[in-house]
Amino acid sequence: MAEIRTVGLIGGGVIGSAWAARLLINGKDVALYDPAPDIGQRISRVLDNALRAYRRMTLAPVSVRGTLTLADSVEEAVLHADFVQESGPEEIGVKRLLMQEISRHARPEAIIASSSSGLLPSTMQEGMQYPERLIVGHPFNPVYLIPLVEIVGGRQTSAETRTRAGEFYRDIGMHPLVLRKEIAAFLSDRLMEALWRESLYLLRDDVATADELDQAIAYGPGLRWAFMGSFLTFRIAGGEGGMRHFMSQFGPSLKWPWTRFDGPDLTDELLDKIILQSDDQAAGRTITELEQMRDDSIVAVLQGLRVNDNAAGKVLAAYEEKLYRISHDPDACGSDSPDMDQPLCMHSGAVPPEWVDYNRHMTESSYLRAMGDASDALFRLVGIDEAYHESGYSYFTVETHLVNVSEAVAGERFHFTTQILDLDEKRLHVFHSMYRTRDGGLMATGEQMLLHVSTRESRAFPVREPVMSRLREIHAGHSRLARPENAGRHVGIVRKRP
């Protein structure tokens, strides 16, 4: 499918502004319409939150690579869009009118998606032009972090629209879940609603407080739910007998009167109780503070899942690989195609605020991290990617020498050149030079010795083909270059002889 570059957003509330952040970070140009007078400030705040979270979540370079245009009308927002994401009020009358207006102005081939959390797309298709291009693309808050998006088609939605929408969402780091059937509230919200109804009964009847009910999830099943749902959980609970044993033991309990699935009446008394206990939970923290606490927790879970290559962690790992691939800035290096007879310029970026210390200068650990990113860029060039790692091979750093030449502050753009100094079947000796992009000044150098290993056998192992041939090709060109001045330096005070 043709690449989706421009996205029209209708609505910039909690969901719409988070869509904007995810899209802008992923290099999509966004035209957003929302009549609120403070929409610019709102987007800026959410984008700051998103960047902060991404930089805590991934080692890959992250920046705003798309452009934002604040449109003055629905027509202006969608006129040139390849994809439209509507995040207006959750009222079917409003949604239907919006879809009719969007479809009049958007190009016929543009996909139109609604962020609705439960309304049927078939109902929204009524009166639309080209209704076959409408889907529900239901995200989860915060949209810029949670990967799940439920794709729901209506009666007139084409299979091509579902497929193209899934590819687009996957391209911006999400996990599209295409529903087999159109059903009100879709899948996740129906499951959450059942839990919510039971929680309200337990709170109403003073069985537990709001905080106790949240603890019952957060400290127990919620940790499992980050990577498995009820079915896999209960299968494991059945032991060697699996789900059959579990159902034989616990299936009859489904008939017991434990839970109540009809929601309680939302009386003023119950509402007051909910609000009071919710205020107690917040403990005076602002929405921004709570959002950042939430984001930090999600990031930690996602990072843990990535390390274990499980569930949403797999999505993050694949997305991180893409971020590394697109992080190269050809303007910093003068070419998008590296010259194998010169030090390679493949990695560039900007110093994020969290890389600086109390002196407002880049920390030593951050220099090492940046050097590691430069090594990763070399690895990707020669074919050491996720598939290579999954086959059981990788390079491990065994020695590093770092020289700080000049100071770097937050926001400073930089780029690296990388030279292969030596190479054999198991060892790789590389030299990195880090330059200030604005004036070409040298910021730091780093020398590394890397050992190729079999991760399955935990021992040094010869480099596999075709990686070795690619490394030899680069080394052949680099061996004719002058040796860098700092190469082979050691730590110590040089003393003059008396």
Following DSSP, what letter does each residue of 122-173 receive, concatenated? Answer: HHHTTT-SSGGGEEEEE--SSTTT--EEEEEE-TT--HHHHHHHHHHHHHTT
Following DSSP, what letter does each residue of 3-35 receive, concatenated? Answer: ---EEEEE--SHHHHHHHHHHHHTT-EEEEE--
Pick the range with the lowest mean pLDDT from 54-63, 116-125, 193-202.
54-63
pLDDT of residue 79: 98
Mean of the pLDDT values across residues 22-38? Answer: 97
pLDDT of residue 325: 73
Chain Cα centroid distance, residue 271: 36
* CA–CA dist 389, 386 (Å, integer): 5
Confidence at 233, pLDDT banded by 50, 70, 90: confident
Mean of the pLDDT values across residues 422-433? Answer: 97
46 neighbors 87 (Cβ within 8 angstroms): no
> Residues of 477-493 as b/e, b for ≥16 C-beta within 10 angstroms?
bbeeeeebebeeeeeee
How do the residues of the chain divide into helix, strand and coil, expressed in percent and rounded to 5?
Answer: 45, 20, 40
pLDDT in tens, 173-211: 999 999 999 999 999 999 999 999 999 999 999 999 999
pLDDT of residue 498: 61
Pick the range with the lowest mean pLDDT from 50-54, 72-76, 126-130, 410-414.
410-414
Chain Cα centroid distance, residue 421: 36
pLDDT averaged over the chain? Answer: 92
pLDDT in tens, 136-185: 999 999 999 999 999 999 999 999 999 999 999 999 999 999 999 999 99
pLDDT of residue 321: 81
pLDDT in tens, 270-314: 989 988 999 998 899 888 899 999 999 999 899 888 888 888 988
* CA–CA dist 388, 383 (Å, integer): 7
pLDDT of residue 246: 82
* CA–CA dist 18, 147 (Å, integer): 12
Q: Look up the pTM and report it.
A: 0.78
Write down all domains in the chain, each with its CATH number in brackets: 6-186 (3.40.50.720), 189-284 (1.10.1040.10), 328-478 (3.10.129.10)
Q: For residue 467, what are its two tokens?
A: 């990686």
* CA–CA dist 486, 431 (Å, integer): 9
Q: Report H helices in 175-286.
A: 188-204, 210-218, 221-225, 230-237, 242-250, 268-282
